[in-house]
Amino acid sequence: MKDKSKISILCKFMFIITMILGLTSCSLPKQLPFMYSPPNEEQQIAKQEKLVLDTINTRDILKVKGSFSKNSISKINDIDGKLKEFFDFYSGKYVSSKYGSSIGDLYENGNHKKSFYLIITITTDKGSYVIACTDVVSSPKNPDDVGICQLRIIHEADVDSSTAWHDGDGDTPGVRCFK
């Protein structure tokens, strides 16, 4: 009988402590570092899209290469040659652009890796292009992952093709022109 009474008292005590902790945690004065609260993502995406577009429109291989993550640069064979091919493919003077994007959040082994998947349709005086760019904007445990890891371009007319963006690379870092 005494054991049941002790268990009952212990359960009630645990319940009371749980309720107190649960109710007081809702009114914490500041956010703890392990709690994630995204900043204004629309502004962040717009800023990143403009940065990518402005960098591409400079047609400066070194400036574009500087936007890539350190890890991607080390994994892409002949990045300078591939960026030259990219700029040979992308011709004309910039006229206009429109954007589309999505956000990727990956939580793995205590790391919160955040990526923007940007789709930028650019019209130049010589044609229209769609540029797809994967841009890692934060990776606290792997800061060398921050930056562009994929940059792809295709003529806008070819976007609906069944093989338009498929090359089997998946998430492999790279620069690719689809002709």
pLDDT in tens, 137-156: 888 888 999 988 888 888 88
35 inside domain: no
Higher pLDDT, 143 or 166: 143
Q: What is the CATH number of the domain that holds 150?
A: 3.10.450.50
Q: How many domains does the chain have?
A: 1
Residue type, 93: K
Q: What SS3 state is found at 39?
A: coil
**Nearby residues of 70 by Cβ (< 8 Å), 6 or more positions away:** 144, 147
- Single pTM value for the model: 0.68
Residue 36 is assigned to a structural domain of this protein: no
Domain annotation covers residue 32: no
The more confident residue out of 71 and 3 is 71
Alpha-carbon gap, residue 163 to 108, rounded angstroms: 31
Phi, psi of 101 (to 5 degrees): -160, 165
The 10s digit of each residue's pLDDT in 94-119 is 899 888 888 888 888 878 888 888 88
CA angle 171, 174, 175 (to 5 degrees): 135
Radius of gyration of the chain (CA): 24
